[in-house]
């Protein structure tokens, strides 16, 4: 199994309800590919003073598990992802970092 882990950092604070909609929109776009075996998402737990650290601090982490590198390529080509990305970028700008890695046991 391979996990595509996305770290999403919104430019401004985002209410829980909006973050849940964002996560749902991304999840649905990726699930429509038919290759997602498991999905997890969690909001970042802030620590006092972390904003003073010059680091990429995510608002949330999203993880998509797929079976193979071919499925990972399918995930990256998800036809529904682009409209979701553009809609949310216009509404609430954000940055993304990601890593593709073998799924931990």
Q: Give the total number of structural domains in the chain.
A: 1
Confidence (pTM): 0.92
Residue pLDDT, tens place only, 33-76: 999 999 999 999 999 999 899 899 999 999 999 999 999 999 99
> What CATH number is attached to the domain comprising 44?
3.30.70.100
Nearest to 41 by CA among 66, 56, 29, 59: 59
pLDDT band at 104 (very low <50, low <70, confident <90, very high): confident
Instruction: Tell me which residue range forms the domain holding 12.
Output: 2-102
């Amino acid at each position: 199994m391979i996990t595509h882990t996305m770290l999403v950092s919104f430019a401004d604070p985002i209410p829980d309800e909006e973050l849940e909609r964002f996560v749902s929109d991304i999840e649905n776009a990726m699930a429509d590919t038919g290759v997602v075996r498991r999905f997890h998402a969690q909001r970042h737990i802030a620590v006092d003073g972390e904003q003073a650290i010059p680091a990429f601090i995510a608002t949330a982490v999203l993880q998509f598990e797929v079976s193979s590198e071919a499925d990972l390529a399918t995930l990256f080509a998800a036809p529904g992802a682009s409209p979701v990305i553009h809609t949310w970028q216009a509404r609430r700008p954000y940055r993304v970092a990601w890593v593709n890695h073998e799924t931990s046991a």
